[in-house]
Structure 1
Amino acid sequence: MINTLQTKEQPLNIKGLSLLTLEELSETEIYQLVDSALTLKKQQKSGLTSKTLEGKTLAMIFEKPSTRTRVSFEAGMIQLGGSALYLNGNDLQLGRGESIADTAKVLSQYVDAIMIRTFAHEKIVELAKQASIPIINGLTDEHHPCQALADLVTIYEVKKKLKGLKLVYLGDGNNVSHSLMIAAAKVGMNCTIACPVGYEPKKQIIELVNDIGSKTGAEIKVTNNPFEAVTDADILYTDVWASMGQESEQEKRITVFEDFQVNSKITYLAKSDFRFLHCLPAHREEEVTAEIIDGPHSVVFQQAGNRLHVQKALLQAILG
């Protein structure tokens, strides 16, 4: 389906591997996952079913709750013939002092893979180190790789290409922006992150994506000027200004991020056929106006729907 790379020339070979960040995937592997997600989406719409994960079980650990992550992974496993177990923080002994190493080793005896949505990225790194089964990052404070893969699927659907497009992210230099930058750099997409002073992405992520971009032709920029950033953008993207765990900063951030709101004033500078993305949940009239997110340029629900197809592509590749 994707013509940018000959994704079928070699099989996607990540079976049994963990996915902690998109840095671990090659450009070809990312394109192959995007292609696989698009194929699975087409098959589902045609009424075709697949039981490639029959007998497989995914443990889903949620120390941070989520609508889209839980439903997309759980539904994805069921649709592929497998099963999923939902485990929140109260269901595990982690909150009572059991070590990550012991948890990883015990769950490795019961299930075929673990998807975890947690706070510190170091926790998922340790989990992957100690487990004998694949670990999938459903979100940490530093990375959100599954979201970025769904973003690429959506962008390809609406623009019919990835390489050479201009993607602009407005807001906090958080986990979503980190994975988005890596994804863009990997596929040769130009990406500008516009943040208030002091809220930029981590320095090591900026250095990483500039290195990747030098090889793929992607131009990655970080700026504090939202209007300059948005000029001639193909894709505009934002996220909530205060992520989970930052609720105490909400009022302060509303003031600091005021000029980074996605509204008609700023979108006027983008290309006339720009598309708007948001990883959701959204706070209308804060980071984005209702006019934009509910308007004709928005593809946020198509984007949310693509989480299902990306999770299925990823699960099938790792466990199939």
Structure 2
Amino acid sequence: MEDCEDGLSALHKIETARRNQTPYNYIITDIRLPDIIGLKLLQVIKSKYPDLPVVVISGYGDERTREDVKEFFGNAYLDKPFEVEELEATLKRIGPPEDKATGLKPKTAAEEGRLASAYVFIRGKNDADLYDAFSKLYFADGVLYCDAVRGEAGSEWDIVLLLQAADVPSIEHLVKSQIQSLGGVQAVEIHHSERPWLGEDLESFIQNYERMNAMEKVDENLTDKRNRRSVSTYAILEIDRSYLIPLYSKLYFTDHIVYCDSTDQGKMMILFLQAPTFEQIRKTITNEIRTQPGVLRVKVLNIVQVMEM
């Protein structure tokens, strides 16, 4: 039996044990971990090793917790405190994993056919018809997302785009030909996505986790990761780039963060958050983001309905 200080170190140990041909027979995780939520750790582990038994424990769970563990293919749930004999009986009932393949083989960036991406922040002139500009940008080539936004301290930016193209020069061409030439645009700021390399262990889990989610979206006939029934926010983080890797690793697995990107040579991160209410997003930013070592400043842009622009 081995202890882990947090969820990310557990992922490293699982991979190390596999490479050394001494894989674990069981994983036991608490719901509350120092870095990520135990249920998210369960999902990540099961995305790569679906046959590895995972037991979730908690002193704060309820019937909904049991349902969540079952939904994410956890093998058992125990309320704390429990007797050692109860844990032993649970592990005996589950049994060790069968000797099967160890998950999907991670793909390289070339195999994934990864496109270049960039966030474009747009500010309109005071007398501009932003609704007209938004309508044109929404259907423009290369625009994956087009969001009207409002900042906490005023409207520094009015529209945020997520662009995708074959490469960086193609993105620069899209910005010049379709955005900067648009009437009513006062300022444009481009931030190219620069996903950091997190090391073989974490990258392996993340790639399997993302591919599993993508397959689920196809099964559900969904086109993207966003939940249109939730409220949404961009959080732009100015960071000390020496903290980029631990920050990205932590925030990638944080609840309510749908996706995160690094940009500007590791000096900035752009997060996209969703939750049922803006208050829940505010708490996540206050408690889980602003408090992280290496975060210098946070700018919040709430996504609003176009008619609120």
The alignment's TM-score, normalised by the length of structure 2, stands at 0.26
Work out which structure has the larger RCO, using CA pairs closer than 8 Å and 6 or more positions apart in sequence: 1
Structure with bigger gyration radius? 2
Say which structure is richer in strand.
Answer: 2
